[in-house]
Amino acid sequence: MKMTKNFTLIAALTLAFASMAHAEEAAPAPEAKPDNEVTYNAAVVSDYRYRGISQTRLKPALQVGADYVNNPTGFYLGTWATNIKWVKDGGGDGSIEWDIYGGKRGAINDTFSYDVGGLYYAYPSNKLSPSANTFELYGQISAGPFSLKYSHSTTNLFGFADSKNSGYVDAQVNQEVADGYVLNLHVGHQNVKNNGAASYTDYKLGVTKDFGVVSVALAAVYADTDAYVGKGKNLGKTGAVLTISKTF
């Protein structure tokens, strides 16, 4: 899981799309939400890609989660789980990733919003040394369809030795283009501290459509590295990922 010329691309995206937020028409006032809200989510994916790298050796995954938010304050807590294969491929044990996260989100002004928090990635009984378990702090700024996020590990990162203080910068655009179809653009850069060969940039181009019963997303994903391999397969190679999800 080189921040020089790649950061220029992220900065260019920031300048190109920030103006879109100012150009958007004011949306109608949203319906009042309850003070405390709990939602659940489930998804089936053809390949679980995280930061461009397949976590399931290019195989499908089943994912479930739950979220609580206190709407007046913006404080939230959540948990999410999925099957994985990379821990066993790396010589450890366990086939589950279990995430626990919490934070606060809200508006800065009429244009910009923020989201700050922490996320703990747990890999039960992973038996890797260093452990695959990872904690990151993150902060995100959004404006209309554009968001820019930075995540910073306060532990070793996903089992890499001496990788504390690794960072991931992530720029995204999610823009509705027609009839509820949302264009998804992403570029991110993972810097693995003291592990330069494992650092890389990843990209995504996709489209999402909410059909009411389920939401369907199709994306092309790529990471510019061959350092992540599982059973002889390049886990960052270009691939299509289909996601069928539901929040309720």
pLDDT 10s digits, 87-127: 999 999 999 999 999 999 999 999 999 999 999 999 999 99
Query: pLDDT tens-digit profile of 128-140?
Result: 999 999 999 999 9
Enter the pTM of the model: 0.88
CA angle 181, 139, 50 (to 5 degrees): 55
CATH code: domain 5-25+33-247 is 2.40.160.40
Mean pLDDT of the chain: 92
What is the reported pLDDT for 26? 53
Beta bridge partners of 142: 113, 147
Structure tokens at 168: 């991931």
pLDDT in tens, 198-213: 999 999 999 999 999 9
How far apart are alpha carbons 83 and 124 in whole angstroms?
Answer: 11
Separation CA 140–CA 76 (nearest Å): 15
pLDDT band at residue 32, thresholds of 50, 70 and 90? Answer: confident
Query: Which H or E run contains 171?
Result: strand 167-178
pLDDT digits (tens, 9 = 90+) for 172-204: 999 999 999 999 999 999 999 999 999 999 999
Contact 83, 53 (CB under 8 A): no
Question: Binning pLDDT at 50, 70 and 90, where does residue 31 land?
Answer: confident
Per the listing, tokens 């990635």 go with 121
Other beta carbons less than 10 A from residue 162's beta carbon: 12
List the chain domain ranges: 5-25+33-247
Arithmetic mean of pLDDT, 45-53:
98
At 118 the three-state DSSP class reads: strand
* Cα-to-chain-centroid distance, residue 111: 23
- 11 torsion bin: left (phi>0), alpha (psi -120 to 50), beta (else): alpha
User: What DSSP designation does 73 have?
Assistant: T
Pairing relation of β-strands 36-45 and 167-178?
unpaired
Ordered alpha helix ranges (H), 83-209: 86-89
Digit-coded pLDDT (tens) for 4-30: 445 455 555 544 544 544 544 455 666
